[in-house]
Amino acid sequence: MHQTQKKIILNINNSILNTAKKTINLESKAISNLNDLLTDDFADAVSLMYNSKGRVVITGIGKSAIIANKIVATLNSTGTPSVFMHAADAIHGDLGLILEDDVVICISKSGNTPEIKVLVPLIKNAKNKMIAITGNLNSFLAQQADYILNAFVEQEACPNNLAPTTSTTAQLVIGDALAVCLLELRGFSSKDFAKYHPGGALGKRLYLRVNDLSSVNKKPQVALKTSVKQVIVEISEKMLGVTAVVENNKIVGIITDGDLRRMLTKSDAFIHLTAKDIMSSNPKRIDENAMAVDAMEVMENNGISQLLVEDNNGDYAGIVHLHDLIKEGII
């Protein structure tokens, strides 16, 4: 590539990176400024939503509607029943979505859009409490709302100060703050989170237990006096690369493929050897009711790929393998 072309590309890249950094700095400054805009209205709005017997209905138009959708998703996933209502659709039939005990959140940067001006009086007439997320405290929306959450930003990241960028980020952050406050008030735990997120790797990390994995695996085991030949057969047949050494249903040792390889390097005559001679004593183990993610941590911390499993009585219950965790998306 010609030197001049390289210089042009370098200048373009630098320009792109500078614009990106300017955008990030501008939006981060706006988010930080939200701390100074918080008032008792925010705390009162959270209390209203927490004590409500109904749902939270969130509405907006344009980019604010997209933010409203995201806030609804966050609230639903953290224990606050919520629904989205598009402001334009609301005044054309969807207003019936709002029930008697519902709390309504209206999101609008200007607070003066035509749809909001039509919608707000209808909500007021229905006696529903209304929370405004707006950047204009003098707007029609702010004047009519029961609680005002100030989302003011000095300027958009758009060089023309037109495209909703910084303002929608501020709205989103306020929505996240509402959700986290409600989450803490409800004492929303990781178990609750798992209930609302049963699918995907995230859900599995929160609800999948060791027994869910080990119970579908074969259960290799040998006794202390089992011959090495039979140990090899057991490991090969059960296809987990390992076998437990068990006495009276209790785990007394473990033999892995690695143990067999080390045995072969040390001795040519191994026919007379038994499981007791080559096993590793006091192997790592885990309770069948432990979380699968805990099994992963034990494996990672000890550099192993299989973990013996015990039941509630301390008896040998099976094996969980690293591949099981990978297959389920835990890793």
| Residue count (the chain) | 331
State how far Cα 17 lies from the chain centre.
30
The answer to whether residues 28 and 139 touch, using CB atoms and an 8 Å cutoff, is no
Count CB neighbours of 10 within 10 A.
10
Which helix (H) or strand (E) covers residue 84, if one does?
strand 82-86
The answer to whether residues 133 and 106 touch, using CB atoms and an 8 Å cutoff, is yes
Which helix (H) or strand (E) covers residue 297, if one does?
helix 292-302
- Start-end of H helices in 98-227: 114-125, 140-144, 166-186, 190-196, 200-207, 210-214
The answer to whether residues 271 and 279 touch, using CB atoms and an 8 Å cutoff, is no
**Do the annotations mark residue 86 as ligand-binding?**
yes
**Rounded distance, CA 186 to CA 175, Å?**
17
State how far Cα 275 lies from the chain centre.
44
**Quick one: 190 exposed, middle or buried, by C-beta within 10 A (0-12, 13-18, 19+)?**
exposed
Nearest one of 215, 229, 183 to 288, comparing CA atoms: 215
Annotated binding site for Zn(2+): 86
Annotated binding site: 86
